[in-house]
């Protein structure tokens, strides 16, 4: 059954999705990851050993290099349980005849919910308040409303639009930076503007752009300095969109009021680990460990989207168009 062997190197892979794969003739192998370790920490040799003979791979954050793909000649599809794909060499996949898919639409709701949670938590100073209460100090710290605030959304893809929809209940003024025209389903109170205007006028800025050469350090020291005094920066998209060292300096200086962070540069660059530790220790930072998509419901949805792409390719069919980011199969 090696022609339908599917290896999963992700935690929290639910039984319903495993059953779906098996019902479609797949041999499912769940990688035995060390406690607390994600596949992003697995080296080349470990991945080659785990994926030997696999036709499908459901992957999380492992770095999928050209060398790795060349070492796995049986591998037909690399299906990400997530929506980012900057860690996959797409050119290599096309050259080697492989398909790369993402779990488009699977985690939009979870990440959008998490984004609003970060906004509310940092704006209302939940962390600072609870820390004082634990120490026996029940005095009140005044926070900031999300209600009727100006929120800037950078990137109006599926998640950005989901955030905008949720903000309708808070009567927010929404500014957006996006590529192309807004879809018809976008709420009417979303106003497209330029990045400088957005950062200057927004009380909350939330980033939902892909990480590319053009967007790396989109928020550097200069852009953070242009943000509205007393504003908040939210990043639940990708580490690298924000220069974490510049953000740390701005938060210490009081240039902005706070930050809500789910992603960090240290995820891909170990030299930033100390910066991450300093950031998450600040009282005006709400931090989570790249967990925005990790709800039971969100993981089940993304598992199934990733699995459906695998089955489609192994059946010689085309996955859903919105999931395909590279297709090197001969036509």
Dump pLDDT digits (tens) for 97-122.
Answer: 999 999 999 999 999 999 999 999 99
The mean pLDDT value for 196-220 works out to: 96
Q: What is the pLDDT of residue 84?
A: 86
Q: In this predicted structure, what is the pLDDT of residue 223?
A: 98
Q: Is 290 a catalytic residue?
A: yes
CA 75 vs. chain centroid, Å, equals 25
The pLDDT of residue 40? 86
Nearest to 155 by CA among 224, 214, 88, 102: 214
Mean pLDDT of 11-39: 91
Q: How many percent of the chain have pLDDT more than 90?
A: 88
Q: What is the dihedral of CA 256, 257, 260, 265, to 10 degrees?
A: 40
Side-chain-facing half-sphere of 288: CA atoms under 13 Å: 21
Alpha helices of the chain — where are they, by DSSP H? 15-23, 44-51, 66-70, 90-95, 108-123, 126-134, 158-166, 195-201, 221-225, 244-253, 273-281, 296-314
pLDDT confidence bin for 11, thresholds 50/70/90: confident
| Eight-class DSSP state of 165 | H
Euclidean distance between CA atoms 271 and 3, whole angstroms: 41
Furthest C-alpha separation in the chain:
68
Marked catalytic residue, from 5, 61, 223, 267: 267
Asked if 2-106+295-327 and 108-287 have one fold, the answer is yes
Provide the 10 A C-beta neighbour count for residue 98. 24
Does the pLDDT of residue 310 top 70, yes or no? yes
- Per domain, the residue ranges of the chain are 2-106+295-327, 108-287
Query: Is residue 293 over pLDDT 50?
Result: yes
Is 238 catalytic? The answer is: yes
This prediction's pTM:
0.89
Which is catalytic among the residues 238, 245, 301, 308? 238
Q: Taking Cα atoms as reference points, which of 35, 77, 26, 85 lies closest to residue 60?
A: 85
Name the catalytic one among 5, 208, 245, 290.
Answer: 290
Q: What pLDDT does 1 receive?
A: 45
**Fold of the 108-287 domain:** Rossmann fold (3.40.50)
Residue 89: pLDDT over 80? yes
* pLDDT for the residue numbered 38: 80
pLDDT at 2 over 70: no
* pLDDT-based confidence at residue 183 (cuts at 50, 70, 90): confident
The pLDDT mean for the chain works out to: 95
- What pLDDT score was predicted for residue 179? 83
Q: What's the pLDDT tens digit per position in 124-163?
A: 999 999 999 999 999 999 999 999 999 999 999 999 999 9
Q: What percent of the chain has pLDDT over 70?
A: 99
Is 114 labeled as catalytic in the residue annotation?
A: no
Topology of domain 2-106+295-327 in CATH is Rossmann fold (3.40.50)
Neighbours of 224 (CB within 10 A): 23
**What CA–CA distance (Å, rounded) separates 5 from 70?**
18
Pairing of strands 99-101, 77-80: parallel
């Amino acid at each position: 059954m090696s022609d339908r062997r599917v290896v999963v190197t992700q935690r929290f892979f639910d039984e319903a999705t495993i059953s779906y794969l098996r019902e479609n003739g797949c041999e499912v192998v769940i990688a035995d990851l060390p406690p607390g370790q994600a596949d992003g920490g697995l080296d080349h040799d470990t991945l080659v050993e785990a994926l030997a003979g696999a036709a499908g791979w459901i992957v999380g954050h492992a770095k999928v290099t050209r060398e790795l793909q060349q070492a796995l000649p049986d591998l037909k599809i690399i299906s990400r349980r997530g929506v980012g794909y900057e860690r996959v060499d797409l050119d290599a996949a096309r050259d080697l005849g492989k398909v790369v898919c993402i779990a488009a639409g699977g985690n939009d709701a979870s990440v959008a919910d998490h984004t609003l949670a970060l906004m509310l938590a940092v704006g209302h100073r939940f962390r600072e308040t609870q820390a004082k209460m634990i120490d026996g100090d029940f005095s009140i710290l005044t926070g900031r409303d999300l209600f009727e605030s100006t929120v800037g959304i950078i990137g109006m893809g599926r998640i950005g639009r989901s955030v905008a929809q949720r903000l309708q209940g808070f009567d927010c003024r929404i500014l957006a930076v996006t590529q192309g025209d807004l879809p018809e389903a976008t709420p009417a109170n979303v106003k497209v503007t330029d990045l400088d205007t957005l950062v200057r006028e927004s009380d909350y800025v939330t980033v939902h752009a892909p990480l590319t050469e053009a967007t790396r350090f989109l928020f550097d020291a200069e852009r953070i300095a242009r943000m509205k005094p007393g504003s908040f920066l939210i990043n639940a998209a990708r580490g690298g969109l924000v220069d974490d060292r510049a953000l740390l300096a701005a938060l210490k200086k009081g240039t902005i009021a706070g930050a809500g962070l789910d992603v960090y540069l240290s995820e891909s660059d170990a030299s930033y680990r100390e910066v991450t530790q300093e950031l998450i220790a600040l009282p005006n930072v709400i931090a989570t460990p790249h967990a925005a998509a990790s709800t039971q419901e969100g993981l089940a949805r993304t598992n199934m989207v990733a699995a459906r792409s695998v089955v489609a390719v192994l059946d010689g069919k085309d996955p859903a168009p919105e999931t395909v980011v590279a297709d090197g199969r001969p036509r």
